[in-house]
Structure 1
């Protein structure tokens, strides 16, 4: 009996192509499970973890009762954040400050004065400055939450038990 027959089968039963495909699949499976490679993101290489504070601003958020909403947000000690559409997790809500709504009114002498905005529909809107805090990877390019750099202008979405809205980053501080 010949090792290879005229149709390219080993001992007349197993095709060389089938054997080659089985060996290739076995090598891939062994490579995936026994040598999975490095874990973690590239941003974590050569970085340390430190606490940071991030100030975010929300303007024109429509709420039925803005004063109650601001108190509720200040009482919640944590909120979930999503940075550039990637969920990061929970961070601490350090402070919530209501920002006044005003309108610039030109005066007869050419100067401009700021007065509270009298429009009644603004009774249902809230402007606020929120300070968030938590641990972040500190890289040479700045702080990283999850796999996203956090810098001034970075869009962040915050989500709590009764709210979910987008804010914009206005300040980032690395705490010592």
Structure 2
């Protein structure tokens, strides 16, 4: 009987000690985080969490950039790059006047993937004949010149020349990779239209 009482007394003492330790840790924790969720009664833990998320996003952007068309930092030799463009269905009343403007100014401003590059040289501009697919009596289809004089639609090929940096992924103009199929926007004093890259050559 005495052994049982002694054992019970030891158990009660240990339980009491554990309760006191738990209360001590709880008071210490409450001193750090109050009932309103503030650290040391001053800073909201939600604000701290939001600041950490913003910091992680900034670190991810600058130290782990994605593989997109834009390049944050480029290292490579700078060489002349020729870019052939095709323009389909450009709505223009007087295409000859536009061609004359290209020949006189010899430069244009380009935008690649919504990133302004700046001014490049116009090496050449050619108009493509306007053709129609006309069904023939034997069931075949023949390509014939478009007889319409009021379509106000012109197809062009253009060759532009600019300075680009050559990387392992190909040439880069400004901060954007330039590849076949890349959409390019051309802008001048009285024109703004889109074209598509059909060939890229490094000189």
List runs of 5+ in structure 2 lacking aligned partners: 1-41, 43-70
TM-score by length of 2: 0.62
Which residue in the other structure is 1:146 paired with?
Answer: 174
Residue 79 of structure 1: which of 94, 100, 108 is its match?
108
Contact 1:96 1:129 in 2 (8 A): yes
Higher strand fraction (1 or 2)? 1
Which residue in the other structure is 2:38 paired with?
Answer: none
CA drift at 1:138:
0.4
CA drift at 1:92:
0.3
CA drift at 1:76:
1.8
Contact 1:102 1:115 in 2 (8 A): yes
Correspondence 1:96 to 2:158: no
CA drift at 1:74:
2.6
Which residue in the other structure is 1:165 paired with?
Answer: 193
Correspondence 1:105 to 2:137: no
Which residue in the other structure is 1:137 paired with?
Answer: 165
List runs of 5+ in structure 1 lacking aligned partners: 1-16, 18-40
Name the CA shift for 1:43/1:142 in 2 (closer, same or farther; >3 Å).
farther
Residue 118 of structure 1: which of 122, 131, 147 is its match?
147
Which residue in the other structure is 2:88 paired with?
Answer: 59
CA shift digits 1:20-71 (9 cap, x unpaired): xxxxxxxxxxxxxxxxxxxxx65512x1111010011111111121122122
Cα distance between partner residues in 2 of 1:57 and 1:42: 28
Cα distance between partner residues in 1 of 2:127 and 2:103: 10
Contact 1:43 1:144 in 2 (8 A): no
Which residue in the other structure is 1:70 paired with?
Answer: 99
Greater relative contact order (CA < 8 Å, ≥ 6 in sequence): 1
Cα distance between partner residues in 2 of 1:150 and 1:170: 10
Higher helix fraction (1 or 2)? 2
Which residue in the other structure is 2:58 paired with?
Answer: none
Contact 1:93 1:132 in 2 (8 A): yes
CA drift at 1:130:
0.7
- How many corresponding residue pairs? 134
Cα distance between partner residues in 2 of 1:171 and 1:156: 13
SS of residue in 2 equivalent to 1:104: strand
Contact 2:127 2:155 in 1 (8 A): yes
